[in-house]
Amino acid sequence: MEIPMTTDDVLTIGARRFRSRLFLGTGGYPNQKAMLDSLAASGTEVATAAIRRISLDGYGESLIDVLGGRVTLLPNTAGCLTAKEAVLTAQLAREALGLDWVKLEVIGDRELLYPDSEELLKATAELVADGFTVLPYCTDDLVTCRKLADAGAAAVMPLGAPIGSGLGIRNPHAIEVICARSPVPVILDAGIGTASDAALAMELGCAAVLLNTAVSKARDPVRMAAAMRDAVAAGWNARQAGRIPRRFGAEASSPQLGLIGS
């Protein structure tokens, strides 16, 4: 049965509205066709992109040309280590793409790619003041998420586990608490390994999931992209449907009367 979409099913981030709750990264696919087919199979409307120096020997084919308007790009500030670098990268992205939103990354630990909350807050405030819709990639810490929302972030994007680790959501309770308390949408970003991780994120109350490596490095990226699409939809529907309470003992689902031999 097709469940009709209601207005509640539309994801709103700042002034943007989406039907899909899956954001997909564009990095690390075996080839360009696998990337494009995965984007299509995932049903995503938002694909992330990095901003990097061009190679000095000239201008080649751009990611924009490749994507050809199939999805809305969400530029990131991946690799930035300070608020200053991240702010400039976001401003360059706006100039290059004409887009005023950004997945804000400020990394505090190069090994684990863990967010630097202090610099992240600073960059968020600066970019919000500069007119950006800011989606900060952050730790799974309730207070950090609240401070980011207070600073004007349009969504918060706590990590489930380190970027590219595929470890899943290491602290589901922390994510659930953030979802319950956040005044802005929560997008689970990083750590997803397989479809059940994405479904869990949605069941915990996330508004969307952002993932990349779980699809791009899967043995069959296109099939995994389809699995992620289904998992996000299933998790969202389960969350909206309302799960049953957990109980210690059994609760028979068959009638207790009329048993033979009674």
Partner 1 sequence: MTTIRVNGTAEPLEAASVADLLAARGIGPDTPAVAVALNGAVVRRAQWAETPLNPGDDLDIVRPFQGG
Question: What's the closest the beta carbon of residue 190 comes to partner 1, in angstroms?
Answer: 8
- Which is nearest to 24 in space by CA: 203, 192, 262? 192
Q: Report phi then psi at 232, rounded to 5.
A: -65, -45
Report d(CA 200, CA 195) in Å as an integer. 9
Binding site for partner 1 (CB under 8 A): 25-29, 35, 48-54, 56, 58-59, 62-65, 73, 75-76, 78, 84, 88-89, 91-93, 95-97, 163-164, 210, 212-213
Place of tokens 């489930």: 160
- Which is nearest to 38 in space by CA: 233, 226, 208, 234? 226
Question: What's the closest the beta carbon of residue 53 comes to partner 1, in angstroms?
Answer: 4
Q: What secondary structure letter does DSSP report for 205?
A: T
Q: Which is nearer to partner 1, 77 or 139 (CB)?
A: 77
Question: What's the closest the beta carbon of residue 85 comes to partner 1, in angstroms?
Answer: 9
CB atoms within 10 A of CB 116: 21
Q: Which is nearer to partner 1, 103 or 147 (CB)?
A: 103
Question: What's the closest the beta carbon of residue 83 comes to partner 1, in angstroms?
Answer: 13
74 contacts 23 by C-beta, under 8 angstroms: yes
> Using only C-alpha atoms, what is the Rg of the chain?
20
Q: Which is nearer to partner 1, 88 or 177 (CB)?
A: 88
Q: Which is nearer to partner 1, 27 or 152 (CB)?
A: 27
Of 33, 84, 103, 217, the active-site residue reads 103
Letter for the amino acid at 106? V
Q: Which is nearer to partner 1, 176 or 216 (CB)?
A: 216
Contact residues for 166 (Cβ-Cβ < 8 A; gap 6+): 191, 192, 193, 194, 213, 214
Residue 103 annotated to the active site: yes
Report d(CA 48, CA 101) in Å as an integer. 11
Question: What's the closest the beta carbon of residue 153 comes to partner 1, in angstroms?
Answer: 19
Where in the sequence numbering do the catalytic residues fall? 103
